[in-house]
Structure 1
């Protein structure tokens, strides 16, 4: 997806905006697509001579809506008669822009009776140079797509109709999904990949996509659950991670300001080695810059046996060449101890393998979220079975969640 040439806007009003622009110019919010301008110009156009009398009411209502949808860490600042600058810290890219669109829709509906597409005017800020802003118009349809994918109640249905998956040809995907290889113990394993929508629970929009590998014995189709990946040899995990990154390369966003970034699960054992980290800068079909802006790595096998100092070091090394690093917690009462001292962009818990009834699942979600709260910006509940579980995750205190279809079979054997 190519970007149109940026329009250059000079900020002449709101002189006190200079300090805000200076702060943002040196942050990573710009390249993450989290800085944008919302315009109520459509209301001024329809108001005509009545604008001078209506302006204060419009800005008062706009301010209330911004305070309603944004968190205290986010920034909003008036730039002109009709424009407000928004910089979000809690969401990036399309997910952040969806919040701006929701604010504008509410304001348009209140003052004009409807929020028509032609009246929705939002621009992404790509560069700040003193009072000059380089901006691009944001396509409301792209934001609408991110909302729609977050509303599917059936995980398998969401998988089938995902507009992000439809961007990749079936032929190209078949080359990387499924993948088979012979494990170190001589058994043939097969990896099937799914693409999950990770939803911002506060804003109800797809914030990020996530690749989910299902590893099974080729001969029987029996699935090896992720909790047993620790029993796989290092070279087997390297093979799985290499294939996962290759599949992820198909969906790596060309511009993460316009498309959701991608979570790629991988083994800490793989990425702790130089050979493993080399995979990150050689993702098939994706440039190192695309990986840096669009890929987040989820360490899936961190446990009590993981050397803490090495974990801190590897997380830092991987973070330099990717958008961010997440760690999957083991579902225990002392889940944080293996990651103590390390800083992650997010913490994840995968509930798919627990098989808990709803009543116990809700209680366990609360237990995990209580431990995780304040330890990372994003707290993600994965492997949920239905939309109701998203509501449970929200109530428990998670910031994001993803549903998942049921694997074809359940493993009843250990890895030799």
Structure 2
């Protein structure tokens, strides 16, 4: 039987041309009795057997096409193997990310040879990444921060070679619900990167103070000082020092003596420390010239309250924490920050222009008027300086009037809405 389309010769029983795959409109042969029937017949006219239509099969690809597919497959396999064995940082990191992403360090140490689905990364709050190459353990630790944070569409991850300083920075971008690698940049000098990060953090605090009556952020702000300055830095990555991969929350410590202090009250703004390489690894890490990490050739980086950064070889060289307590906030005649707090109900306009530190003092002042002792040492020192304050060991909150309690709650709600501690 010849194909009506290409003319190719086929067997009489063929329904499709073996040359071009076109349907051959020949008689339908009954598989039971061998009788011939019309193509449209559903049952054999001779024996009544059901004539099920045959499923068409596409013609096999020509030999040349099959050879081309084989060559392409081999090429892909060679490329994948090359990427996993390549010494190039970018190729290594890409292969590494696709190979092993783990939830925490303990899991990484025990299960690093197992593959974790890359697509699941976006839903994890913390992760540590590690991989093994040719049975030679080479561990890379990723930034342990909330990539799943609501609204976050980009993130940076620092990767470190265990026991070595060179590292790479990987930029991730969230696309259609999944994190993808957007860029990989080798960091040739972690010490310089650490100083650059510290500079950006310091400038974030300076910008914060410009919006809050020139007052430096309080170390114990809600969520810590690191969270308070995030709107100005727009990055959690700069809180990390590439030379200290174990510091996965914050590699720097804030000067406790300048916390909540106005810059104008600091005698030597260019010589008073603001931040330095530290060991606390906390969102609210603060110290009085302590907890120093000498991680850069025996020295450490210090950012000063004017924003400039300097490397110091010892804690005694140019490292002034301003140990003299700053002067208390100025008070109006009569000695009270909020004279009207006990006389009338406060409104929003009464709180405008007042930063978190002053709001906190105003609220606690209503308690202090009745002799309340304070557990917070800073508050206690402040009220001890006030001539009207007399600490009462028998103090009770019941001494406040209903008006004072309402005003205290009103100020507290304003502090909460601003993100104050």
TM over 0.5: no
Bigger radius of gyration: 2
- Which structure has more RCO (C-alpha within 8 Å, separation ≥ 6)? 1
Q: TM-score interval w.r.t. the shorter chain?
A: under 0.3
TM-score (norm 2): 0.25
TM-score (norm 1): 0.25
